Structure 1
Amino acid sequence: MSPQNLFDEGIPPNSTAVAIDKDKNSPHAVRWAIDHLVISNPLIILIYVRTKNNQYRSFAENSNSNDVESEADLQKLFTPFRGYCARKGVVMKEVVLDDNDIPKAILDYIGKNLVHNIVIGASTRNAFARKFKTYDVPASVMKSAPEFCSVYVISKGKIASVRTAQRPAANTATPPRQPSPGLPQLPSDLGEQEDALRGQAMKGGTKGGGTERMSLDKGSDPVRGIARDRHKNTPTNISLESYDYPVRGQRTSTSRDSISDEPDFSGSLAMGSMDMSSQSLDFSNASFSPPRGSSASSSREIEAEMRRLKLELKQTMDMYSSACKEALTAKKKANELHQWKMEEAHRFEDARLAEEAALAVAEMEKAKCKAAIEAAEASQKIAEMEAMRRKQAEMKARKEAEEKNRALNALANNDNRYRKYSIEEIEEATEKFSDKMKIGEGGYGPVYKGKLDHTPVAIKVLRPDAAQGKKQFLQEVEVLSCIRHPNMVLLLGACPEYGCLVYEYMENGSLEDRLFRRGNSPPISWRKRFQIAAEIATALLFLHQAKPEPLVHRDLKPANILIDRNFVSKISDVGLARLVPPSVADSVTQYHMTSAAGTFCYIDPEYQQSGMLTTKSDIYSFGIMLLQIITAKPPMGIAHHVGRAVEKGTFEEMLDPAVPDWPVEEAINFAKLAIKCAELRKRDRPDLGTEIVPELNRLRDLGRSPESYGTDGYYTSSNNSGQSRNMVPRSPPMSSS
């Protein structure tokens, strides 16, 4: 097949083909070919051989596949390669060959289409080769490929083996002529005459630098013209219409075909088909009747003339073939020039469009750049303002830190708000921290009983490894040394170097110990319980109304309520207390803490979830503690259980059974107030100053009033109508001690 036909079929010379299959190496082979071979010529041919052999079919059935693919299967096979080639800007040609011999089909296609490079995956059809002991496609193609074709075997994206071309592809535009068996060989002494005739033919065929059409019609045969000129009286019946001479560049499917017209040619070369290889010039039918009475010399002259005519005919045919070759070459060059011209026109148009697009993009980029510059200037101004604010904030923070350090130094060195004790005095008071002097264990260290200045004291010792305890130590010293309240524990002194706090000694321990009767202590009467609740509420209100900023305790629980010998309750352990802005007290503005602090079951759920701290956070802890005061039960789920009991009318079962004379109605009011304090949402909890404290003071005064008991020892309560109603019999009122 000629290059012209290759071009007409879309396969230009020096093309690259890839033999693909359904294996995993085919995508690697196509990718490698596009990256390394398809450079100047953006075309790649994908060849797939579809087999129909029975043994392959049986193997395919055993392996759940089918080698006789349908069109849908072929489309599915080629679809991934189409997308990849489209992304790479490569034109892909799909070729499907039906043959049982895969190497033969590939080699035939290479030879017919002058494929310059063939790329094969290393595992192409090797499964069939191993199953049936047949051919190995890469090895067969590499062994039998034409010398002008380079063979590359690719395995996993790398070259497994290669065989480069030995020579370039031959120019097969005009196949070599084979001498006709019927024509005699030219003698060597006739070369000059042949050259002269060829030159004469060339002058006539290329006059004016153009290409003139040559035809072998019956009326204008140059060979016959020569014969008539030389032998006008000799009847030569030589006919060239019976010969079919193949001219390269034309299609061989028709007996008479002309070269396709092109715009660069003024006409077409119409020529008859002549086959010098299949037909011989047989002049045996030509009748030469010598005149009567002629001699033997005349016969020899006729034979010589016949030989000369044959020689002239051969020379004419050679000149005709040369002219055809030149015409085809000129046509090919004209086509190439026309193609180059069209490509240059497309390139110029693409360049023009690209230039316009580049100008438009440049304008857009210019506008974006201008907007970016403006935004950058605005951002720079904002950054300068932020830097100035940050600098001012840093200066303010530095000043505050310096003031805090000065305050701490003053607290450690020259603070006269509390007495400083040396470690020797502390050790002497605690008998060197003897276990027999130990009365409790706090969250950050043990608590010892001792005597300083002839006064019983409680000494809390901070453990050396409690880093958080040091912060709480300073916080507690700061708070207790600045505030005084009858229901706040009194700080007598401290030893800052060793983290020791000296408090007044509380004989009755904590409220938790008394509620749960640890050490087999007697139960607390309901009057004392109401009194303790009112005292804690009063001290808590004092903390919330502290100046200049309110204090939130954050760890309110029975264990942190201490009771002295007269059963006066006092709030202790204010190491977790935090100052919050005054606006927090209205429960609208909230103070954000990075992490919640306190004891489980007593921490405000809303504060634990969001980290927003307000004075209402202490109200939740206080409500849980109020429920424990009247029930003496653990804090886990106590609000739910008491609420259900009030709804079902079984509240009396929830009261502390150690107290025999509970005023049930007043206890119910007490429980309802405590349940309101333990609401999950802060906004649903009552106000401490206007609702909680007045109600608890009323209940405290009720326990103090002797009129609440009749002469018969029964507890009485007035209903809404003013009539008195006897309750269950109770013991007579106890003394205030």
Structure 2
Amino acid sequence: MDFETDDFDGVANVAVGVNENRNTKYAVKWALQKFIPEGINLIKLLYVRPRLTLAQSQMRDDILDAHRRDVEWKTNMMLFPFKQMCSDKQVDVETRIIEADDIPSAISQGVINLGINKLVIGSSSRSALAKKFKADKSKSTRIMEAVPNFCTVFVASKGKLSYVRHSTSYCGEENMQDDRSSTSISSSCRLSQDSSAYSEATDTDSSSNINNLYASNLHNQRNQALRSMNQKFIDTNSRPNSNANTYSGSSYHSARLSLGSEEDNVGFNSTGVEIQRGIPRDTGHRNIQSNYRQFKNSNNASASVDLTISSAPEHPADANFELERMKLELRHLQGLYEKAQSETVDASKKVDELSILREEDSVKLEKLYLSEMKVQELVKEENKARETAEKEADFVKKCTKKEVLDRKNMEDCAVREAEEKHRIQRVLVSCEQQQYKIFDWEEIISATSSFSSNLLIGSGAYGKVYKGKMHHTNVAIKVLESNEVQTKQFQRELETLGRIRHPHLLLLVGACPDHGCLVYEYMENGNLSDRLKCKNDTEPLKWFHRYRIAWEIASALFFLHNTKPEAIIHRDLKPANILLDRNFVGKIGDVGLSTLLPTDPSMSNMHRNTSPVGTFFYIDPEYQRTGVISPKSDIYSLGMVILQLLTSKSPRGLAYTMETAIDDGDLDVILDSKAGEWPVDETQKLAQLALSCLELTSKDRPDLQTQILPLLENLKKVADAAQDGLIHSATNIPPNHFICPILQEVMHEPCVASDGYTYDRKAIETWLSINDKSPLTNLQLPNKNLIPNHSLLSAIKDWNPAI
């Protein structure tokens, strides 16, 4: 949670906790209805989203960036309706997105950092909220417990207020303020009682402290003097034979000393004497000075003394006693005042001196600050000049390095191109048992009608594929792009397909090395991916064809993994690279990304470090993570292909869907219903085999020779039996292209004559022995050469193995 803390100055700061739940809409709506009339024109939206998991953080950078962009897009789409609601109400809105796993703690920290004092959250219903308060703690309950007490929490349900948790911190502060106020008042009362007759707080702190100190000492000394004089007075009145000098409670009520204005009263009930004294708070020590002058100018300091006795004492000794007591008190007051005045003057002088020193220090600090600013500006200018010089030097260095690297790269590219050209030539020349033909560029152009768009049957990152006809035989011509990567793929396909043959590997007919063209046998039913999707309204594959195709692909992989002297790893096995002929026989093609592994009988697990290549969803996760390739990498791709044969679905999440269906007993629901009636037990075994091939670690995947092929061979037998039964049940009429035009019978050895038509060898040879014209067109034949039609012969044998 990295965001700046907002200042909180006591103004209502409103936030709404939002999430994907629809109750958030009601919470925002209630907040707008509640706080807009109160003058709130800014609402903050708090959204907590989970952090990246450990598995997500270990993904590739491009996948992780795509995932983050997807999360940001979903977040913006989720927040857009709430922003629109605020915009419609002409209320400003701020969004704060917090990444955390604990939502209550994250919202609590956001409330503290943003200074939120009013938080609105949504709940499912008021009744449900009440139940959750009594039972387990819901998300709303945990949020309210986590949010600090200074924030008021409003819980809204379906546009209505369900619950309010009031804040407690402000009430506590008011009570503290009240306590402080009462304490201050009581302290000020006591201070007034102690020092009102002598001094008050002046404008400076030193004068106030001195006056308060002397006022307290004066009060204590006066109380001690009065207590001692009153005790003497009582002792005098209590002596025997002094009845005439005794004051009664009714005859002597009070004696009051007035020193200024009316304020505080101090009573002495033990002697019946009450003294009223006071000085206003705003007069300070000036009132003390004026009272002192009144005492000094009066005769015997009695001019300012207003002694009021409701019943005059009958004995003159009592009056003299009271007068002496007042004189003693006046002398105390005079001495303390003179001392306080002298020290107040000294304190004022010290304050003035300190003020002068402070002004001088301020001037010095200002000069130092200006000097520092000048030095900083000089330093900045020097730094800018240095940075400019460094940038120019770096730019010159980079330009020099770039020129050197460009020159070196050009030289390296020229060397690599020359070496690869020589290597291709060596491969073509050194191949003693060359099993493919070298075509001229003119033959390629003629076969494709100058690369007509009508003959284009496929295109991709590798290049384009055209349908063509060479020597009266349909072929597929792949034209690779002229770049370094495609040149390497062209070379690898020549090296791989040029020296190996297998019934279920795509047959390489020939090549045109000068222009990067490869000529393959033509596969009438296209690739397996398009066939599973039933593109161009093609008939869906039956389940027995899919069983057989799985076995054919596994047998081709076993052949590649056991080639000598080096094993071949395909690395890009997927339905788009599995081609089907007219009888739906599967063959693996596009071996341009294959790699070679050294075969060592002593090593059971062959591996090699290489850069990960392939197609996402089919590439081995262990290979993608570590770059270590092994035959088990192709096993992972085979497992995904088998799952698609069973379901005809996209590979995204297919393994999890299949595993869930098997655990729930719903395998028949996920199978492709267009394939016919699947056998239950065999299909479940095949699905479990595919899932075992998709294990994340290669050591947990089954072995191709000992575990995968035996099971697929048994399933192939089941498929062959079902297909034979279907063939025998159908009509046994051969297709028209199986019939020889001369004999009108199924051909046993079809051959193509120079007129472009296919005949049975014996029939056409007998015809050519006595005729030079075509049996069908009756035109002169250019020659009498015959070319075997192996594709047609294979189709006839598939239709009737007895031929």
Q: Same fold (TM over 0.5)?
A: no
TM-score after normalising by structure 2? 0.40
Indicate the structure (1 or 2) with the bigger Cα radius of gyration.
1
Write 1 or 2 for the structure with the bigger share of helix: 2
TM-score after normalising by structure 1? 0.43
